[in-house]
Structure 1
Amino acid sequence: MKLHQLQVIGRIGQDARIIDHQGRKFVAFSLAVDESYKDGNGTKVERVIWYDCNTEQERFFKVVSWLTKGREVLVEGKPSVRVYEKDGRHHGAIRIQVQNISLGYSPNDERPAATAPVAAAPATAGDEENNDLPF
């Protein structure tokens, strides 16, 4: 059995977009993961690792409006590395061919106002026949 899978939790760097490339549609977005460690001198080093994420799966076209800058997400998929040259220097980019996304907190989410708990009214005989629930 072979497994080539990556799971990353981070924040979306810019709003996701649908790209039409040569007749194929993709959902694309960037994902940032903060990392910190202490170097050999004991100095704290902070950096951000960026991932380029994309998928052709149609089910993600429906939630593209939720994939907004700052939202925390868990992304699962197949990783790859792209090497390119820019300004005479070699660079690398980590790509994830997304297979699954779990949405987390977004700074744009509205938090519900705190409310006092409400006690449920006691059930009376015959209530189950009059409810509008489909189950």
Structure 2
Amino acid sequence: MLYVHTIGHIGKDSRVIAGTHGSFLAMDIAVDDYSKGQSVATWVRVRSNKEGHIRLSEYLTKGRLVLVEGTLSYSLWEDKNGDSQVQLSITADSIAFVNSGKRNATGNDADEEPVKAAGNTPVPPADTPQDDADDLPF
């Protein structure tokens, strides 16, 4: 058994599915991995039958950043081209919202898009410490 902790963005609004053994929460999250300067998203299916998670379903909406802890499993399937694919799934023990940064007056994350100066060079936020050339360790 693999017990994992992962952070990802919800791909579509979560849904509650009523089954023969009770209701459960279902959602898919995109977990970003950075390799060789490129971002690659791995999709992970998340399921939970915990009552607390089912009650949170209305807040688990597309784009929200969440931390999921639970047991990882996988299944193999073939796509329409006949290629083998792997579906990763987590049976969640814990789901938590992750704060993605400070909110500004418009309700958007302040860190999402830095203001650009002339020449399209990002301007760091005012509270970002600047490097002092005399204080560098090299």
- In the superposition, the TM-score normalised over structure 1's length comes to 0.69
Question: Rg bigger for which structure?
Answer: 1
* Aligned-CA RMSD value: 2.2
C-alpha separation in 1, matches of 2:93 and 2:68 = 8
Higher relative contact order (CA 8 A, sep 6+): 1
What letter matches 1:8 in structure 2? T
TM-aligned CA distance change 1:98 to 1:30, over 3 Å: same
Alignment of 1:4-83 (within 5 A): 4-38=2-36, 44-83=37-76
Aligned residues: 104
C-alpha separation in 1, matches of 2:98 and 2:61 = 11
What letter matches 1:91 in structure 2? Q
Give the deviation of 1:85 after TM superposition. 1.5
Unaligned runs of 5+ in 2: 106-138
Residue 126 of structure 1 is matched in structure 2 by none
Divergent runs of 4+, >4 A: none
What letter matches 1:99 in structure 2? D
Contact 1:72 1:105 in 2 (8 A): yes
Unaligned runs of 5+ in 1: 39-43, 114-135
Say which SS state the counterpart of residue 55 (structure 2) adopts.
helix
Q: 1:41-69 CA distances to partner (integer Å, 9 max, x unpaired)?
A: xxx33210110000011111111111010
Is 1:85 aligned to 2:78, yes or no? Answer: yes
Contact 1:71 1:105 in 2 (8 A): no
More deviation in 45-54 or 16-25?
A: 16-25
C-alpha separation in 2, matches of 1:9 and 1:36 = 13
- In the superposition, the TM-score normalised over structure 2's length comes to 0.67
C-alpha separation in 1, matches of 2:31 and 2:61 = 15
